Amino acid sequence: MFGYIVANVDKLTPEEKKRYRGCYCGLCKVLGDRHGLISRMTLNYDMTFLVLCLSSLYEPKTTVKTERCMMHPLKPHEYWQNDVSAYAADMNIVLSYYNLLDDWKDDKKALPLLESRLLEQEFQKTVARYPDKSAVIQKSLGKLSSMETSGEINPDLPANCFGDIMGEVFVPKQDEFSEKLRAFGKSLGRFIYIMDACLDLESDIRKERYNPMTMHSSEDFPSVLNLMMADCTERYKQLPMDRDQNLIENILYSGVWTRLVSKNKKRNERLKT
């Protein structure tokens, strides 16, 4: 369920693109340093967004460096990282591990199962580092799994479970921002879950897999998603995120729609042929 919280890079300035890439590469660097080289396969832009938001809110001391890496061996590139990057890397491991197990459960393909086993040790270390947070995530995933197994037709219920997971992820510590961060993360998680269901509906029906949007008309999807994202942006506005405001708002107001726009474009092209 990764890959929805991304920037619309076509609408970013060169400086914003550099900042965005630097955040992504910094997270990649931290992942490798904290959890080993294999963990970099789990890198995603959703957790990059988490770094942007929490760094903007807390303004931690940030290190900026330039280096070559395995993915870019010829051209040096700039990256930045801080304590938030480390926290996001840990959450990335936990969520990726569960996501791989979910992929295995859905398709019974060997690759996600193998990848989850490669992450097992780092996952266990991270769970031990955040026992209370991990317990909340595991409990919510258990409720979500039960609903999916029973075929729950009210999409709000499983969406709330995934919202609870993201709400927990968005709270790195208990302070004056915790309540608003949790509400923002929960709203974003609800959106991610329903967006994923909308985009996967045709495939899920064909493969006879659970999808909470089965009983809803696809014509209603845009309005449903717009309402959910409107709630999310209202939660965002209650938090003083100034450092990367334009970049964060590019993601919330434009980037989150790129996969839906791309899928609709492909569908329309198929209908014309």
pLDDT digits (tens, 9 = 90+) for 21-43: 999 999 999 999 999 988 888 88
pLDDT at 265 (0 to 100): 73
When comparing pLDDT for 234 and 262, which is higher?
234
On the question of pLDDT at 234 being above 80, the answer is yes
pLDDT band at 109 (very low <50, low <70, confident <90, very high): confident
With beta carbons less than 8 A apart as the criterion, state whether 191 and 251 touch.
no
How many other CB atoms sit within 10 Å of the CB of residue 12?
A: 20
pLDDT at residue number 1: 67
Residue 150 tokens, joined: 């029973």
Pairwise CA distance, residues 28 & 22, whole Å: 10
Residue with tokens 């998680």: 189
52 contacts 244 by C-beta, under 8 angstroms: yes
Q: How far apart are CA 200 and CA 54, in angstroms?
A: 30
Confidence of residue 268 (pLDDT cuts 50, 70, 90): low
State the average pLDDT over residues 47-72.
Answer: 90
The model's confidence at residue 273, banded by pLDDT at 50, 70 and 90, is low
At 239, the pLDDT band (50, 70, 90 cuts) reads very high
Residue 236's pLDDT is what?
97
pLDDT higher than threshold 90 for residue 238: yes
Output 235 or 69, whichever has higher pLDDT. Answer: 235
Choose between 108 and 195: higher pLDDT.
195
Please list the residues that pair with 63 across neighbouring strands: 81
Rounded Cα gap, residues 96 and 115, in angstroms: 10
How high does pLDDT run on average in the chain?
Answer: 91
Provide mean pLDDT across the span 170-198. 96
Which pLDDT does position 165 carry in this prediction? 96
The DSSP call for residue 218 is G
The alpha helices in the chain, defined as continuous H runs, are 14-35, 45-58, 83-107, 110-129, 131-150, 156-169, 178-207, 221-237, 245-253, 258-272
Rounded CA-CA distance 261/259 in Å is 5
pTM: 0.92
The encoded tokens of residue 103 equal 């992929």
Q: Where are the domains of the chain?
A: 130-241
Residue 64 pairs with which residues in a beta bridge?
80
Taking residues 75-95, report their average pLDDT.
Answer: 93
Nearest to 170 by CA among 192, 153, 149: 192
Residue 11 CB contacts under 8 Å (≥ 6 apart), including other chains: 250, 254
Angle at 45 between CA 99 and CA 24, to 5 degrees: 125
CA–CA gap between residue 246 and residue 228 (Å, rounded) = 21
On the question of pLDDT at 117 being above 80, the answer is yes
Q: Is the pLDDT of residue 129 over 90?
A: yes
Kindly give, in sequence order, each residue whose CB lies less than 8 Å from that of residue 70, ignoring residues fewer than 6 positions away. Answer: none
Residue 50, CA distances (Å) to 11, 39, 211, 216 in order? 20, 18, 27, 31
Instruction: Give the pLDDT of residue 105.
Output: 78
